[in-house]
Amino acid sequence: MTFSPINNTDNTGDVMALRQNPSADQVGRPTWADIDLAALLHNLGQVNALLHPKQRVMAVVKADAYGHGAVPVCRTLVRAGIIDFAVATLEEAQALRRAGVDTNLLVLGGCFPGQEEGFIRDVLMPALLDLETAERLNRVAVRRRQQISVHLKVDSGMGRVGFTPAQLQLALPRLKEMPGLVIQGLMSHFACADEPCSEVSTEQQHVFYDMIDLVRTSGINPVEFHLSNSAGISGRYCSECTLVRPGIMLYGGLPGDDFAATLDLRPVMHLRSCIAQLRELPAGSGISYGHQYRAERPIRVAVLPIGYADGYNRLLSNVGHGIVRGCRVPVVGRVCMDWIMLDVSTVADVAIGDPVTLLGSAHGVTISGDAMAAQLDTISYEVFCRIGARVPRRYLPSV
């Protein structure tokens, strides 16, 4: 299903018009996600307001920009002046190159055996996680009489990937003798930045600064340094860093509960569907699989063509909500693979075809990714990333 872009986020009237007057390219299941590019730029402004003069943004667009669509997101951010982006895999970076994204692309997941030619050919930068990978990349680059820029990843306390301080000290003499490599950047990653007063984060900063000194003393001089994710940007200033890596902030998710009072973030994704059927059921009726919901009174049920196959989590059974005609109404019964049911008994004039917002905003009411994540005992990152590929994205213009 294809929708024409519109200028407002609360698009109830436009959805109704599409339902009533579908064209050949607009016919399809009435379930989609609006991606509000103006909200994306607003959130970028929130990031920029926290930066120091020598710092710039490396926008994290891995996992298809957290489910928002990496290509449209990148194009919007490029127009806003962003020149640095980070993805997780070679394949993600190559998809952006094919789409014409001609910017600095850092692949956070590194370079796996056999991928060296692809990195060099497409002018992509891997995070360098170990010495063996450095040797592979150097061999291929030298054979091709080229060089490849890398960002040296150090483990300052995350305990995941990258060179530990001891490993780095042993590796630096060998890295210095690899003519095919240009160590463009030095990077690490906070483990507990969502806790503003974390002693772990303070210690990580000290370790990272020590590792910067170690690299410089060896005679290697990166020009880029970065440590801060969204939470780090919001809660800590890293004096040595030239780049910051916002991810969830760009898409309207809080980097932690403690930042709600200080950040004015807007939802970028608005998950919507339309009422396919209305059912009048008597008191005592069971709804959906297992009859885990039974109506205590006569109930009007709206049925929507969306389910867990679309990323609307099954754990939202009997606890989720939707927004119908400005009213917040509950999900009733188990979420099915392709359907969910809402109790719309309190909604005046509710009708088949009415648009329903399940995530995001409509009529001044919001179901945020963070609120949904709290119901699921997870984080908004997962909420956004799970909205599936069979849910079309419609991009609302950025101006």
- What's the alpha-carbon Rg for the chain, to the nearest Å? 24
Bridge partners, 367 (sequence order): 360
Residues 361 and 271: their CA atoms lie apart, in Å, by 9
Q: From the centroid of its chain, how far is CA 380?
A: 9
Give dist(CA 360, CA 380) in Å, integer.
12
pLDDT tens column, 306-338: 999 999 999 999 999 999 999 999 999 999 999
pTM over 0.85: yes
Tokens at 305, concatenated: 């063509």
Q: What pLDDT, on the 0 to 100 scale, is given for residue 26?
A: 54
What one-letter code names the amino acid at 284? Answer: G
Report the alpha-carbon distance of residue 168 to residue 206 in Å, rounded: 16
Angstrom distance (rounded) from CA 242 to CA 226? 6
- Catalytic residue, chosen from 251, 289, 293, 312, is 289
**Among 128, 15, 29, CA closest to 339:** 29
> Which SS3 state, helix, strand or coil, does residue 80 take?
coil
**Of 294, 374, 363, 281, residue with least CA distance to 328:** 363
Q: What is the pLDDT of residues 81-134, one digit of tens each?
A: 999 999 999 999 999 999 999 999 999 999 999 999 999 999 999 999 999 999
Q: Is 289 a catalytic residue?
A: yes
Q: Which tokens sit at 189?
A: 């990653």
Separation between Cα atoms, residue 207 and residue 304, nearest integer Å? 52
Q: What is the DSSP string of 135-200?
A: HHHHHHHHHTT--EEEEEEB-SS--SSSB-HHHHHHHHHHHHT-TTEEEEEEE---SSTTSTT-HH
Q: Is 62 a catalytic residue?
A: yes
**CA distance readout (Å), 336 to 3, 57, 330, 331:** 26, 40, 15, 11
14 or 322: which carries more pLDDT confidence? Answer: 322
Task: Write the pLDDT tens digit of every residue in 147-192.
Answer: 999 999 999 999 999 999 999 999 999 999 999 999 999 999 999 9
Domains of the chain: 12-36+267-396 (2.40.37.10), 37-253 (3.20.20.10)
Tokens representing 122? 């497409």
Question: What is the predicted pLDDT for the residue at 133?
Answer: 98
> Which residues have C-beta within 8 Å of that of residue 143, sequence separation ≥ 6?
none
- Active-site choice (62, 293, 308, 312): 62
Residue 32: DSSP 8-state: E
Beta strands at 224-226 and 56-60: parallel, antiparallel or unpaired: unpaired
Quickly count: other Cβ atoms within 10 Å of residue 99's Cβ. Answer: 13
| CB atoms inside a 10 Å sphere around CB 318 | 15
Residue 398: predicted pLDDT: 83
Do 263 and 25 meet the contact criterion of CB atoms below 8 Å apart? no
Phi, psi for 20 (deg, rounded to 5) = -85, -25
Output the average pLDDT for the chain. Answer: 92
- Residue that has been written with the tokens 């200033």 in this structure: 237
pLDDT digits (tens, 9 = 90+) for 132-141: 999 999 999 9
Summarised one tens digit per residue, pLDDT across range 183-199 is 999 999 999 988 888 89
d(C-alpha 9, C-alpha 362), whole Å:
8
> Do residues 183 and 152 touch, judged by C-beta distance below 8 A?
yes
